C-alpha cells in the first residue's frame, strides 16, 4: 500500500533553513545594532570624559598663566625688590661706554652684539 | 495614534524641551598687552556653582561635600538643596581649580545635580599702573572704561553653542549632539605704551603727588614722528583689581579718580598755548624770530582792560616773547594776526576737535568761533586763557612743532592679533595735516630751546647731556561757579628732546599744587618733574647724549632725596 502521507510529513528543510537563516541574520543584525549602539554610547562617554579632561587642562593652563603674569608683573617684582629678595644696582654714568655708531635707517635691522668682535 | 500621529509635533516639542539643551560655549576675552607684549589684562577662569533641586536625591550628602570648599554652612546648603527648583545658584566666582576638586568628589560619591558654569574674571597683573588707559568691565563682561571699552568688539570674541540631549539622570547623550558652532576667542590688543616708560612716569608722578599734594596730576609721553603714546598716567588713580569686589555705588562715588583726565578734562592751558600764537604769526610771515615787539613795560591797556606781564619788559624779539613767556608780547602777535586767522591756526593745531585716539569719552574742548569773541578775547586766548583744551590736545600741538610742523593723530593701539598671534589689524601713523612749514617749525623749536636755558622760564627742565625744547604754562584755575579760584593754579610743562631730532615729547601737568604762590609756576614745579622723567626716558631709549658738558643745573635735576 502506497504511503500517501509520506511526502506530507517530510520536514521542509529548505524552508526551515531559509527561515533559520533569516532569523539568524535578523538576530545578528539586531544584536549588532545593539552592540554598535552601545559602542557609540561608550565612545560618546569617552569623548565627554576627554572633553572634560581637556577643559580641566585648559583651565589649569589659564590659572598657571595668570599666576606667571602676576608673579612677573612689575608691581610684584617691585615688592620683592623692596623686601630685599632681589637686588638691583643702578648703572652709573661712569660705567657706561658709548660707542659712536651711525644712526639707523628706517626699518634697518641690527644685531644687538657685534659677534665678530666677540670672536 | 493620538500620541504618535495626531499630536506628534506637540509632544515631540515637549520632549525636546525636556531633554534638549542649548549649551553655550564661552569665548575667551582677548588679552591687553603693552608694546613689548607684557600682559596688562588677562583672564582667570572661575565658575558659578549651580544645583538642580529636582535631580538631587540626597541633599545632606551633597551639602556635606560642598560646604567646606564653598565656605558655606552645611545646614544652610542642605536647606537650599531640598528645593524642587531646577536652577539654584549656590555660589559665584569660585576658583576653577577648586570647582574641579569638588566635581571629582561628587563623581566619586555618585552624587548628581550640581553643575559648574564656566565664567572668567579679568585680572590686571599691574594693579593701578596704566589704570585709566586699560579700563575695566561691568558684570556683563562688557568694557566700560579705557581700552576695555573702546576695543570691546575686538576683545570679547563670539560665544559658540551646541545643542545637547541628556538622559533622565541629567547625563549628556553625546550621540545625540545637535548643531554646534565653535566659540571664536577674542583678539589680543597690543598697545603702543611701553610699561618700562610707564613705570618711570608713574614713579615720578607719585613722588610729585606726595610732595605737592595736587588735586590732579597728568603726565604723558608721546613719540612725535608717529603719534604713538609711550606712557600716560593720571592721579588720582585706582587699582583695577579692586573694582570687581566693590559695591555698585563705588563707581559713582569715585568717578573723579576713574576719569582719564588726559582726554576727558578740559583746562585753560596757559602759556603753553603761546606756541600756537607764535607759530601762526611766524608762519604767516607777519614777523620773524628777531622782530622786535614793544611789550609796554608790563602793562598793556587794551579794550579798556589791563593786561599784565609777570615782569615788565620793554622791547622783546619774538624768540624772547616765548623765552620770557610775555603775555603782552603774545597778545600783540595775535592782534597782528587778526581774529579769523588766529582762530584758523588754533583749529589747525587740533584744538576744538577730538584727536581720534582710541580711548572712550574724549572731548573736543571749547574754542569759540571769532564771531562770539569779545574784543579783549584775542589778547586772552593768545596766552592760553578763554579756551578749553585737553592735555592730550596740548601735547599733540607741541608734537606738531617737534615733528616739523606735521600734526599726527595720537595712537594708543599698535596692533590687534588673533589668539594664535596672527596680526589682524595694524595702526600705521596718521598725519592729520601740515600745520606750519618745516622751516617755521624749526624757528619755533629754536625759540623753545631758549625757554629751557638759564635765561628762560624752564631752566629746571634741563636734562644732562641733551638739548631740550619746551614751554611752561601757569594758568589760574577755573571756578566752575564762575571766575577763577584765588591762589589756585594749573601748572604745566611740555617739552621734547633731543631738540633737533626729537624722540619723545613729554607733558607734565599739576592741578592746584600745594606750594607757596612764589613757587607755583610751571617752570618751578612741572619743569623738574619733566627733567627727571626725560632723563630716565632718554637712558631707557638709549639716546646718545649730544652735549659734551652737562648743563649747569645737573644737580637740580637729580631726584631730591
**Is residue B162 within 8 Å of B176, Cβ to Cβ?**
no
Residue B247 included in any domain: no
The DSSP symbol for B370 reads G
Whether residues B284 and B325 fall in one domain: yes
CATH number at residue B309: 3.40.710.10
* Prediction pTM value: 0.84
Whether residues B100 and B221 fall in one domain: no
Model pLDDT for residues B298-350, shown as the tens digit of each residue: 889 888 888 888 888 899 999 999 999 999 999 999 999 999 999 999 999 99
Residue B248 included in any domain: no
pLDDT at B550 over 60: no
Among candidates B39, B44, B174 on the partner chain, residue whose Cβ is nearest the Cβ of A63: B44
What pLDDT, on a 0 to 100 scale, did the predictor assign at position B84? 82
Whether residues B210 and B166 fall in one domain: no
What pLDDT, on a 0 to 100 scale, did the predictor assign at position B553? 46
- With beta carbons under 8 A apart, name residues in chain A contacting B194: none
B100–A contact, CB cutoff 8 A: yes
Whether residues B453 and B536 fall in one domain: yes
What span, in angstroms and rounded, lies between the C-alpha atoms of B465 and B462? 9
Average pLDDT rounded to a whole number, residues B7-34 = 85
Residue B360 included in any domain: yes
Residue B547 included in any domain: no
Residue B485 included in any domain: yes
User: For all residues of chain B together, what is the average pLDDT?
Assistant: 89
Four-residue CA torsion sign, B4, B6, B9, B13: negative
Percentage with pLDDT > 70 across chain B? 97
Model pLDDT for residues B355-394, shown as the tens digit of each residue: 999 999 999 999 999 999 999 999 999 999 999 999 999 9
- Distance in Å, alpha carbon of B365 to nearest chain A alpha carbon: 35
What pLDDT, on a 0 to 100 scale, did the predictor assign at position A115? 46
B123–A contact, CB cutoff 8 A: yes
**Given pLDDT bands bounded at 50, 70 and 90, which one contains residue B113?**
confident
Residues in chain B: 561
Number of domains in chain B: 2
Alpha carbon B349 to chain centroid distance?
A: 21
- Residue of A66, A71, A81 to mutate when probing chain B, most B C-beta within 10 A: A66
- With beta carbons under 8 A apart, name residues in chain B contacting A76: 125
Average pLDDT rounded to a whole number, residues B222-230 = 95
Model pLDDT for residues B198-207, shown as the tens digit of each residue: 999 999 999 9
Average pLDDT rounded to a whole number, residues B118-138 = 90
Whether residues B372 and B499 fall in one domain: yes
Residue B246 included in any domain: no
Whether residues B177 and B294 fall in one domain: no
- With beta carbons under 8 A apart, name residues in chain A contacting B37: none
Residue B138 phi, psi dihedral angles, 5° rounding:
-95, -175
What pLDDT, on a 0 to 100 scale, did the predictor assign at position B231? 96
What span, in angstroms and rounded, lies between the C-alpha atoms of B402 and A48? 62
What pLDDT, on a 0 to 100 scale, did the predictor assign at position A114? 45
- Distance in Å, alpha carbon of A3 to nearest chain B alpha carbon: 54
Please indicate whether, in this complex, the C-beta atoms of B42 and A47 are within 8 angstroms of each other: no
Whether residues B90 and B71 fall in one domain: yes
pLDDT at B21 over 90: no
**Is residue B365 within 8 Å of B264, Cβ to Cβ?**
no
Four-residue CA torsion sign, B91, B96, B102, B108: positive
Model pLDDT for residues B422-459, shown as the tens digit of each residue: 999 999 999 999 999 999 999 999 999 999 998 899 99
**Residue numbers of the domain that contains B213:** 195-237+262-540
- Distance in Å, alpha carbon of A27 to nearest chain B alpha carbon: 24
Whether residues B166 and B199 fall in one domain: no
What are the cell numbers at B272?
Answer: 603753553
Phi-psi region for residue B541, left (φ > 0), alpha (ψ -120 to 50) or beta?
A: alpha
What pLDDT, on a 0 to 100 scale, did the predictor assign at position B20? 83
Q: HSE, CB side, 13 Å, CA atoms: give it for residue B301.
A: 1
Matching residue, cell 565658575? B47
The DSSP symbol for B373 reads -
Whether residues B347 and B488 fall in one domain: yes
Please indicate whether, in this complex, the C-beta atoms of A63 and B96 are within 8 angstroms of each other: yes
What pLDDT, on a 0 to 100 scale, did the predictor assign at position B555? 42
pLDDT at B556 over 50: no
Closest among B123, B112, B119 to B91, alpha carbons compared: B119
Please indicate whether, in this complex, the C-beta atoms of A73 and B126 are within 8 angstroms of each other: yes
pLDDT at A105 over 70: no
Other beta carbons within 10 angstroms of residue A2's beta carbon come to 4
What pLDDT, on a 0 to 100 scale, did the predictor assign at position A100? 63
Q: Which residues contact B87 (CB under 8 A, 6 or more apart)?
A: B50, B52
Residues in chain A: 119
What pLDDT, on a 0 to 100 scale, did the predictor assign at position B377? 92
Model pLDDT for residues A29-64, shown as the tens digit of each residue: 999 999 999 999 899 989 989 998 898 898 889 889
Whether residues B272 and B130 fall in one domain: no
Among candidates B44, B172, B544 on the partner chain, residue whose Cβ is nearest the Cβ of A48: B172
Residue B243 included in any domain: no
Q: Which residue of B has its CA nearest to A93?
A: B539
At residue B316's C-alpha, the angle toward residues B315 and B317, to 5°, is 130
What pLDDT, on a 0 to 100 scale, did the predictor assign at position B519? 81
CATH number at residue B18: 3.90.1310.10
Within B52-194, where are the H helices? 59-70, 74-81, 96-108, 131-134, 146-150, 152-155
B173–A contact, CB cutoff 8 A: yes
What pLDDT, on a 0 to 100 scale, did the predictor assign at position A113? 47
What pLDDT, on a 0 to 100 scale, did the predictor assign at position B1? 65
Whether residues B153 and B281 fall in one domain: no
- With beta carbons under 8 A apart, name residues in chain B contacting A88: none
What span, in angstroms and rounded, lies between the C-alpha atoms of B43 and B349? 41
Whether residues B112 and B231 fall in one domain: no
Range name among A73-87, B145-159, B237-251, B517-531 with the lowest pLDDT average = B237-251
pLDDT at B482 over 50: yes
Residue B549 included in any domain: no
The DSSP symbol for B67 reads H
pLDDT at A6 over 50: yes
Model pLDDT for residues B276-297, shown as the tens digit of each residue: 999 999 999 999 999 999 988 8
Amino acid at each position: 500500500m502506497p504511503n500517501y502521507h509520506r511526502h506530507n510529513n517530510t520536514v521542509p528543510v529548505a524552508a526551515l533553513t531559509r527561515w533559520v537563516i533569516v532569523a539568524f541574520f535578523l538576530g545578528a543584525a539586531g544584536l549588532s545594532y545593539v552592540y554598535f549602539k552601545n559602542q557609540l554610547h561608550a565612545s560618546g562617554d569617552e569623548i565627554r570624559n576627554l572633553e572634560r579632561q581637556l577643559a580641566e587642562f585648559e583651565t589649569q593652563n589659564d590659572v598657571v598663566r595668570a599666576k606667571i603674569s602676576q608673579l612677573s608683573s612689575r608691581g610684584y617684582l617691585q615688592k620683592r625688590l623692596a623686601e630685599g629678595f632681589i637686588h638691583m644696582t643702578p648703572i652709573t654714568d661712569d660705567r657706561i661706554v658709548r660707542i659712536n655708531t651711525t644712526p639707523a635707517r628706517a626699518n634697518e635691522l641690527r644685531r644687538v652684539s657685534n659677534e665678530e668682535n666677540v670672536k | 495614534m493620538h500620541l504618535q500621529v495626531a499630536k506628534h509635533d506637540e509632544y515631540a516639542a515637549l520632549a525636546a524641551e525636556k531633554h534638549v539643551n542649548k549649551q553655550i560655549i564661552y569665548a575667551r576675552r582677548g588679552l591687553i598687552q603693552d608694546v613689548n607684549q607684557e600682559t596688562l589684562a588677562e583672564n582667570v577662569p572661575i565658575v558659578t556653582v549651580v544645583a538642580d533641586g529636582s535631580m538631587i536625591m540626597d541633599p545632606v550628602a551633597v551639602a556635606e561635600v560642598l560646604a567646606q570648599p564653598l565656605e558655606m554652612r552645611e545646614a544652610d546648603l542642605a536647606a537650599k538643596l531640598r528645593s524642587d527648583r531646577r536652577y539654584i545658584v549656590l555660589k559665584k566666582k569660585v576658583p576653577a581649580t577648586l570647582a574641579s576638586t569638588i566635581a571629582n568628589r561628587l563623581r566619586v560619591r555618585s552624587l548628581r545635580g550640581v553643575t559648574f558654569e564656566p565664567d572668567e574674571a579679568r585680572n590686571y597683573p599691574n594693579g593701578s599702573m596704566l589704570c585709566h588707559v586699560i579700563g575695566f568691565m561691568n558684570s556683563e563682561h562688557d568694557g566700560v572704561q579705557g581700552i576695555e571699552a573702546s576695543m570691546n568688539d575686538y576683545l570679547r570674541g563670539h560665544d559658540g553653542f551646541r545643542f545637547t540631549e541628556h538622559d533622565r539622570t541629567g547625563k549628556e547623550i553625546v550621540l545625540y549632539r545637535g548643531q554646534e558652532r565653535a566659540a571664536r576667542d577674542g583678539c589680543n590688543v597690543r598697545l603702543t605704551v611701553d610699561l618700562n616708560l610707564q613705570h618711570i612716569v608713574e614713579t615720578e608722578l607719585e613722588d610729585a603727588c606726595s610732595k605737592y599734594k595736587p588735586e590732579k596730576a597728568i603726565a604723558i609721553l608721546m613719540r612725535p614722528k608717529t603719534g604713538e603714546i609711550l606712557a600716560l598716567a593720571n592721579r588720582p588713580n585706582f587699582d583695577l583689581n579692586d573694582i570687581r569686589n566693590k559695591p555698585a555705588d563705588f563707581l559713582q562715588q569715585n568717578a573723579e579718580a576713574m576719569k582719564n583726565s588726559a582726554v576727558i578734562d578740559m583746562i585753560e592751558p596757559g602759556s603753553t598755548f603761546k606756541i600756537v600764537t607764535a607759530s601762526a604769526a611766524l608762519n604767516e610771515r607777519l614777523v620773524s624770530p628777531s622782530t622786535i615787539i614793544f611789550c609796554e613795560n608790563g602793562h598793556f591797556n587794551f579794550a579798556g582792560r589791563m593786561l599784565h606781564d609777570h615782569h615788565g619788559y620793554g622791547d622783546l624779539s619774538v624768540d624772547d616773547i616765548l623765552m620770557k613767556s610775555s603775555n603782552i608780547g603774545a597778545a600783540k602777535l595775535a592782534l597782528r594776526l587778526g581774529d579769523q586767522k588766529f582762530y584758523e591756526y588754533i583749529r589747525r593745531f587740533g584744538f576744538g576737535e577730538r584727536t581720534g585716539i582710541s580711548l572712550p569719552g574724549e572731548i573736543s574742548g571749547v574754542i569759540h568761533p571769532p564771531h562770539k569773541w569779545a574784543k579783549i578775547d584775542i589778547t586772552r586766548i593768545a596766552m592760553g586763557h578763554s579756551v578749553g583744551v585737553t592735555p592730550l590736545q596740548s601735547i599733540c600741538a607741541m608734537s606738531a612743532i617737534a615733528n616739523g610742523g606735521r600734526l599726527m593723530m595720537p595712537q594708543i593701539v599698535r596692533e590687534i592679533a588673533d589668539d594664535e598671534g596672527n596680526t589682524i589689524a595694524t595702526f600705521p601713523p596718521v598725519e592729520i595735516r601740515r600745520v606750519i612749514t618745516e622751516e617755521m617749525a624749526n624757528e619755533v623749536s629754536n625759540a623753545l630751546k631758549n625757554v629751557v636755558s638759564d635765561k628762560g622760564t624752564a631752566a629746571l627742565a634741563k636734562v644732562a647731556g641733551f638739548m631740550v625744547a619746551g614751554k611752561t604754562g601757569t594758568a589760574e584755575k577755573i571756578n566752575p561757579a564762575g571766575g577763577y579760584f584765588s591762589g589756585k593754579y594749573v601748572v604745566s610743562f611740555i617739552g621734547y628732546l633731543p631738540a633737533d631730532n626729537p624722540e619723545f615729547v613729554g607733558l607734565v601737568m599739576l592741578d592746584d599744587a600745594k606750594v607757596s604762590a612764589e613757587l607755583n609756576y610751571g617752570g618751578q614745579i612741572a619743569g623738574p618733574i619733566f627733567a627727571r622723567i626725560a632723563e630716565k626716558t632718554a637712558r631707557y631709549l638709549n639716546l646718545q647724549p649730544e652735549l659734551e658738558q652737562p648743563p649747569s643745573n645737573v644737580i637740580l635735576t637729580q631726584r631730591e632725596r
